Amino acid sequence: MTVLVRLSCLATPTLPGGPIRFRPSVLARHRRRCYNSARLARTYVSLDLETTGLDPQSDAITEIGAIKFTRDSVLGRFSTFVNPRQPIPEHIQALTGIHPADVQDAPPLETVAPDVEAFIEGCVLVGSNFVGFDAPMLDAKGIRRGQEIYDTRDLANLLLPGLPDYGLAALTHHLGIEMRSYHRALADAEMAREVLLALLARAAALPADVLSQVAAWLTPTAWPWRNFFREVWEDVAAGGAAGRSFALPRSALPEPLRPAERRRPVDPQEALAVLASARGRPDVLPQFEERPQQQAALRAVTEALNEGHRLLLEAGTGIGKSLAYLVPAALHARANGSRVVVSTATINLQEQLTGKDIPALEALLPPDGGFMACQLKGRRNYLCLRRFQALRASPNLRDDESRIASRILIWLTQTETGDRSELRISPGEEAVWRRLCAEGADCNADNSPFVVEGTCLLQRARQRAEAAHLVVVNHALLLSDIAHGGRILPPYDHLIIDEAHHLEEEATRQFGF
């Protein structure tokens, strides 16, 4: 009964489309799983095991480190070597620094197991990849433990969408936590403790309606960390901060480009000077060196843009062809208020352009005159808010749906673009994403309040492209735009096709029978 009261206290979220009401079936399901668990454990034990290998059945524990703590203080530490009664492989010795001499006189596991069980009893277990490694190892060795696990890897995946790595080392680095020795049990347990405290703080800083929605989604699931968000929500609500709420981004977008009244050609010397300025900017292009082939390519591209003729350019790898076309394209576009589309075939080149070359270009361009570049992708890369809202209204989400819905909702508080690449959708989440993306969505102002409000992420991506001098796309989107009579990309004046040897293949795929 207590749980029902608490759940009913959760603020109903207020994304456009109206607040979500929790139906009785959801509440009943919630009560069934959480009955009698209303008094949440608030004492944690971060625990780490060092072992002879990764197999819980055949490998053995060599060291156990654990820290009992609350949010305010450390209550105790537990640390011991364990005699594994089997050899420690060389590579494990190199990794952990634990050698046979360290463990030969240590107690065997059956001697330390009762102390471990007593230390962790009644506490929420905390660790990095605890669900995937430490818990199965403890189970295989017959050490009794609680079922509630705050795995920092899973929780960070929800709270910090888009990181390339959720391991302990990566998280401590990202969160600015000092990294002590790594792959030693007590040091790793200490880092896991600090990471958890940082994640609790991150969760508490979420807008209250987002936090309450995530808590309502996850608490009824079977995830071992299902109570994490509910615990934070209860603290936030008790602290009186539950009034903060989240609104989808409606920040003003830049104005669409306005073509200049008179066409202004770009002096090739001006373009060469911008490129040459990289000589004095090792912070921008540390490896920069002047290359005659790059300068020749830059001159040819500048003249082609000035005269509006076609140019076929073949350049060997390593001459810096991206900057050879980006510099004149940027100068030409901003001098004339025009737009240049750059189309590529591979994700690698798109990432190189958007992550490295275009930021370098922006740093080299003279500051006056303004310049904006963006990447535009196909519809399947953007979240459809209308579909997401429909998912939120579903009464019975599966556990995997609750997890990705929570991830997306938290991500929505952070994203500027709505681009799925920021979320790093896993293969297991792909099927749910396909139901939520804008591909095939029925977009019009009559049935989508997000169009009227200007919050639709796809629409905002297109509006950003309408304001950009340089738009990076892939061949598939370029050809799709051609097939749809130019209704996908904003109008453009010049087109640069990089990796053009892949264009025929994509054209055959799109236009072939």
- Please count the residues of this chain forming the interface with ligand SF4, following the rule CB under 6 A: 13
- CA–CA separation, 210 and 317 (whole Å): 48
Map tokens 């991150």 to a residue.
202
* Residues 45 and 143 sit within 8 Å (Cβ to Cβ): no
- The residue (of 18 and 259) whose beta carbon lies closer to ligand SF4 is 18
Q: Which segment (133-141, 145-153, 311-319, 380-388) binds ligand SF4 by CB under 6 A?
A: 380-388
DSSP symbols for 393-437: H-S---HHHHHHHHHHHHHHTT-SS-BGGGT---GGGHHHHHHHB
Does residue 228 interact with ligand SF4 by CB under 6 A?
no
Helix, strand, coil abundance in the chain, percent, nearest 5: 50, 10, 40
- Complex with ligand SF4: residue 198 or 374, whichever CB lies closer: 374
Of the pair 205, 451, the CB lying nearest ligand SF4 is at 451
Rg of the chain on CA atoms, in Å: 28
Which residue from 34, 304, 438, 470 is in contact with ligand SF4, where contact means CB under 6 A? 438
**Which residues within the stretch 79-108 sit at the binding site for ligand SF4 (CB under 6 A)?**
none
Using CA atoms, how far apart are residues 18 and 464, in angstroms rounded to an integer?
A: 27
Alpha carbon 73 to chain centroid distance? 31
Task: Give whichever of 373 and 488 is closer to ligand SF4, judged by the CB atom.
Answer: 488
**Segment (H or E) for 46:** strand 44-51
From the list 5-13, 190-198, 290-298, 381-389, the region that binds ligand SF4 by CB under 6 A is: 381-389
Task: CB nearer to ligand SF4: give 298 or 385.
Answer: 385
Q: Is 458 in the site for ligand SF4 (CB under 6 A)?
A: yes
* Torsion from C-alpha of 454, 455, 457, 462, nearest 10 degrees: 20
Give me the residues paired with residue 50 across strands. 63
Q: Residue 172 in contact with residue 194, Cβ under 8 Å?
A: yes
What CA–CA distance (Å, rounded) separates 314 from 370? 30
Interface with ligand SF4, residue 376, by CB under 6 A: no
The minimum distance between CB 447 and ligand SF4, in angstroms, equals: 7
Tell whether residue 492 is a contact of ligand SF4 (CB under 6 A): no
Candidates 172, 221, 448, 480; binder of ligand SF4 (CB under 6 A) is 448
87 bridge partner residues = none
Residue 397 in the binding site for ligand SF4 (CB under 6 A) = no
Q: For residues 68 and 193, what is the distance between their CA atoms, to the nearest angstrom?
A: 9
- The contact mask relative to ligand SF4 for 459-488 (x = CB under 6 A, - = no) is x-----------------------------
Provide the minimum distance between the beta carbon of 148 and ligand SF4 in the complex, in angstroms, as a whole number: 37
Instruction: Please give the full DSSP string across 279-318, using - where no structure is assigned.
Output: GG-TTT-TT----HHHHHHHHHHHHHHHHT--------TT
Instruction: CB nearer to ligand SF4: give 112 or 456.
Output: 456
- Which residue, 186 or 436, is less far from ligand SF4 as judged by CB? 436
Q: How far is the CB of 365 from ligand SF4 (least distance, A)?
A: 33
Query: Binding ligand SF4 by CB under 6 A: which of 113, 120, 329, 385?
Result: 385
Decide whether 10 or 438 has the Cβ nearer to ligand SF4.
438
DSSP strands (E only) in 57-163: 61-69, 74-81, 124-127, 149-151
Residues 134-163 interacting with ligand SF4 (rule: CB under 6 A) = none
How far apart (Å, rounded) are the C-alpha atoms in residues 183 and 63? Answer: 10
405 binds ligand SF4, rule: CB under 6 A? no
Task: Measure the CA–CA gap between 272 and 251, rounded to whole angstroms.
Answer: 37
Q: Which of 76, 40, 62, 43 is nearest to 190 (CA)?
A: 76
Q: Which of 441, 482, 495, 500 binds ligand SF4 (CB under 6 A)?
A: 441
Asked if residue 503 binds ligand SF4 (CB under 6 A), the reply is no
408: contact with ligand SF4 by CB under 6 A: no
* Among the listed residues 244, 243, 216, the one whose alpha carbon sits nearest the alpha carbon of residue 229: 216
Of 451, 467, 476, 507, the one binding ligand SF4 by CB under 6 A:
451
Q: Please identify which residue in 386, 403, 475, 494 interacts with ligand SF4, judged by CB under 6 A.
A: 386
Evaluate whether 223 touches 403 at the Cβ level (below 8 Å). Answer: yes
Q: Decide if residue 384 touches ligand SF4 (CB under 6 A).
A: yes
Q: Which is nearer to ligand SF4, 67 or 456 (CB)?
A: 456
Least distance (Å) between residue 385 CB and ligand SF4? 4
Q: Which window, 43-51, 120-128, 345-353, 455-463, contacts ligand SF4 (CB under 6 A)?
A: 455-463
* Smallest separation, CB 428 to ligand SF4 (Å): 24
First-residue to last-residue Cα distance in the chain: 62
Residues that bind ligand SF4 in the complex, under the rule CB under 6 A: 384-386, 438, 441-443, 448, 450-451, 456, 458-459
